[in-house]
Structure 1
Amino acid sequence: MRSWPVGSWQLLGLLLLHLAAAPAAESILRATKRPRHRYTPDWQSLDSRPLPDWYDEAKFGVFVHWGVFSVPSWGSEWFWWHWKGQRQPQFQEFMNENYPPGFSYPDFGSQFTAKFFHPDQWAKLFQAAGAKYVVLTAKHHEGFTNWPSPVSWNWNSKDLGAHRDLVGELGTAIRKRNIRYGLYHSLLEWFHPLYLLDKKNNCKTQHFVRAKTLPELYDLVNRYKPDLIWSDGEWECPYTYWNSTEFLAWLYNDSPVKDVVVVNDRWGQNCSCHHGGYYNCKDKFKPEHLPDHKWEMCTSIDQLSWGYRRNMVISEIASESEIISELVQTVSLGGNYLLNIGPTKDGLIVPIFQERLLAVGKWLSINGEAIYASKPWKVQLEKNTTSVWYTTKESAVYAIFLHWPESGFLHLESPIATSLTKITMLGIQKELKWTTDPSEGLLIKLPQIPPSALPVEYGWTIKLAGVQ
């Protein structure tokens, strides 16, 4: 049974390529015009780079996990590893029941057709969702590339299956709508023979890095000029193995996106939450208090998988209220919210995912003023009769409450009213009546209108002007 889609002669080509890849990368460094400030390939220097403003202002993005794992579309995007790496019984049974003997994972590649992939439709949906950036999987841990990578022969979307440059097509459509474009890239590949060789050598050799990882990263940046690189697959080897600091120094100093590009923190063992651009820390990371570094919560609408699953059920799908609640909490604590969907092998975004994204877009169309380009306020969370999350922008303070008080009055302890105080609800023109109590703070009378007349169904925003 085949375990890797390239032949032995192609493996020889990879080995030869790794000898040439490093000099080629160095020539790129020499040939590029030098900026005034040079970042050196060490964390002290790289971590001092200011994060480009666009990322913090964006607040909300859409993550897209799409690849050959979308063909079996069962279990999760880690299908190949669960099946052949861990040999989990349920994955063995799934293959025995649904595919002929001798069927290998690379045989799924020709079925990744993207037949109904219309990038403009995707981009239109993401725009309607209120996303300010989109991150597409350029390559997951299976090694299949969604662009014609020159070092992934016969295991990419141009040579096999769709016969299309999926990364390039979506990027063109996204940028037509003035949305930032990011690319997810896995440093490792589970079953690549050169990576397995390096792991056997305790990450002391770099055959895989020089032949595969670095050439692909340079190619992605030079070819597509991404606004964001979402690195992953770093955990088995140190950053010195991946040559991460050398790559990031080039990215910040000389690359075509040096002034705008943003990266995360997954660049080697123990880098997460310590080094890089913004911090992911871990999947679905939720800090309890305001972090002192820009961060992002990445999470998925399907709570059990990032890739599409044919066997998902509604109880495993995050509700609209859960998603909006997480978005509000994340932004109040200074983070960005990256919400994932998994398209089908044909390139369809199933209706339940569309519905959730459009619900976020509807909510942001009313409350986006309190989200986009906002900053954490002096108080992030206040709990009394309801949970209230605060943000601020310019001179305004926004109080977002997630449950409507039965009394019809919202009690806010933290804002201090002044003679200039003016209170409104986003989506409703009329000013709200309010009073103050020395011991209890602000007491705001909420609009007395039918629930159907409210601007949104949950997560209402009070705008406070002239408070301290």
Structure 2
Amino acid sequence: MGLVHIDSYLLFESIYIEFIEPRDTYWDSTGFLAWLYNDSPVKDTVVVNDRWGSELLCKHGDFYTCLDRYNPGILIEHKWENCFTIDKSSWAYRPIANIEDYMTIEEVLKQIVTTISTGGNALINVGPNMHGKIPPIFQERLRQMGSWLKVNGEGIYGSIPWKYQNDTINSDVWYTSSNDGRFVYAFLLLWPKNTTEIILGAPLSSSSTAVRLLGSSGDSLSWHIASGTRGIVIDVSKIKLHLLQSEWTWVFKLENITA
């Protein structure tokens, strides 16, 4: 038996009605959870969020969702999830929505990267239309995410937060680490203009440090130690952006890096 989450919104001719979420006693949530954890067929594997009572958000649950589009931007101890919608205003399909009402692929990837970097899961919603079809704008975003993950997914799936989440000098860089700690992934949200170098302030390099750009057919990139006690400067002068397999949010794979 699985849990079904029912969003607190109804769509009727583009009019939204929001309900007041009842307390856990209304649903007898604790009774259901007692059965779920102790006697259900999935008792050894089930995980439960914090949406089983109005007063419990961000307080009780195997993982927190807190509010829709919750993204603290920092590492927190308890597991959490960012539930966000590609339509910036709605979980449901809106026939009156304009193009600017939808997240761009750059905005979607920023949410994914900053969420994973700080220890969260990303739950991404698209709303089917009245015929049960996924509208083209959502199809495009899903295909773009799929093509990006095909190139850069190793920095997302199975990753863990690194010592640093956001870079110390470049706010457009976020980090994850492979589970075994062998690799650090630096996600560059915005490629800087008119430069041949990418500066990372957080990594502490060694003589065996190697840097690759995922989606690039080239070998390891040249780099040198930045001024100061830590940081590296990556030479990207030979990178041709239009030839890369990834069009947005570029990922540098760093090997033999310490924090």
Q: Which residue of 1 aligns with 2:88?
A: 303
Is residue 236 from structure 1 mapped to residue 22 from structure 2 by the alignment?
Answer: yes
Determine the C-alpha separation between the residues in 1 that align with 2:144 and 2:71. 22
Indicate the residue corresponding to 2:99 in structure 1.
314
Match of 2:14 in 1: 74
How many Å separate the matches in 2 of 1:437 and 1:331? Answer: 27
**3-state SS in 1 of match to 2:208:** strand
- Pair 1:402-2:189 in alignment: yes
1:402 is aligned with what amino acid? L
Aligned counterparts, 1:277-292, within 5 A = 277-292=62-77
Q: Is the 8 A contact 2:73 2:114 kept in 1?
A: no
Contact 1:73 1:307 in 2 (8 A): no
How far 1:385 sits from its partner (Å)?
Answer: 4.8
Query: Quick one: which amino acid aligns to residue 427 of structure 1?
Result: G
The correspondence of residues 53-64 of structure 1 with structure 2, limited to 5 A, is: none
More helix per residue = 1
Between the aligned partners of 1:300 and 1:437, the Cα distance in structure 2 is 39
Instruction: Measure, in 2, the Cα distance between the counterparts of 1:461 and 1:424.
Output: 8
Q: In structure 1, which of residues 437, 451, 459 is the aligned counterpart of residue 226 of structure 2?
A: 437
Cα distance change of structure 1 residues 343 and 64 upon mapping to structure 2, 3 Å threshold: farther
Count of aligned positions? 248
Q: Choose 1 or 2 for highest CA Rg.
A: 1
1:373 is aligned to 158
The 5 A counterparts of 1:235-384 are 235-237=21-23, 239-384=24-169
Post-superposition offset of 1:314: 0.3
What is the deviation of 1:447? 5.3
Larger displacement relative to structure 2 (372-381 or 283-292): 283-292
Residues 4-153 of structure 1: pairs in structure 2 closer than 5 A: 69=10, 72-76=12-16, 78=17
1:288 is displaced (CA, Å) by 3.2
**Alignment equivalent of 2:175, drawn from 375, 378, 390:** 390
Q: Which residue of 2 aligns with 1:10?
A: none
Task: Determine which structure has greater relative contact order: mean sequence separation of CA pairs < 8 Å that are 6+ residues apart, divided by chain length.
Answer: 1
Residue aligned with 2:173, SS: strand
Query: 2:208: which partner in 1?
Result: 420
How many Å apart are 1:64 and its aligned residue?
A: 10
- Structure 1 distance, partners of 2:149, 2:210, is 22
Please state whether the residue corresponding to 2:167 is helix, strand or coil: strand
Q: Secondary structure at the match of 1:428?
A: coil
Contact 1:409–1:446 (CA<8 Å) still a contact in 2?
yes
Question: 1:315 & 1:306 partners in 2: Cα distance?
Answer: 16
Structure 1 residues 314 and 75, CA gap change in structure 2 (3 angstroms): farther
Contact 1:332–1:375 (CA under 8 A) maintained in structure 2: yes
In structure 2, relative to structure 1, the CA distance for the partners of 1:269 and 1:74 (3 Å cut) is closer
Q: Which amino acid aligns with 1:401?
A: L
Aligned to 2:246: 456
Q: Give TM-score scaled by structure 2 length.
A: 0.89
Partners of 1:467 and 1:444 in 2: how far apart?
14
Rounded Cα–Cα distance in structure 2 between residues aligned with 1:352 and 1:383: 36
The share of aligned pairs that are identical, in percent, is: 42
Distance of 1:401 and 1:64 partners within structure 2: 36
Cα deviation for residue 452 of structure 1 reads 1.4
Alpha-carbon deviations, 1:32-74, whole Å to 9, x = none? Answer: xxxxxxxxxxxxxxxxxxxxxxxxxxxxxxx997x9x56x451
Local SS of the residue matching 2:97: coil
2:175–2:186 CA contact under 8 A, matched in 1 = yes
Q: Secondary structure at the match of 1:359?
A: helix
Q: Distance in 2 between matches of 1:316 and 1:284?
A: 15
- CA RMSD across the alignment: 2.1
Deviations 1:335-376 (A, max 9, x none): 111111110121111100100111111111111000011111
C-alpha deviations, 1:145-170, integer Å up to 9, x for none?
A: xxxxxxxxxxxxxxxxxxxxxxxxxx
Call closer, same or farther: CA 1:328–1:73 in 2, change over 3 Å. farther
The gaps in structure 1 that reach 5 residues or longer are 1-62, 82-189, 191-232
Q: State TM-score, norm by structure 1.
A: 0.50
Contact 1:385 1:405 in 2 (8 A): no
1:444 offset after TM fit, Å?
Answer: 0.6
Cα pair distance change 1:337/1:73, threshold 3 Å: farther
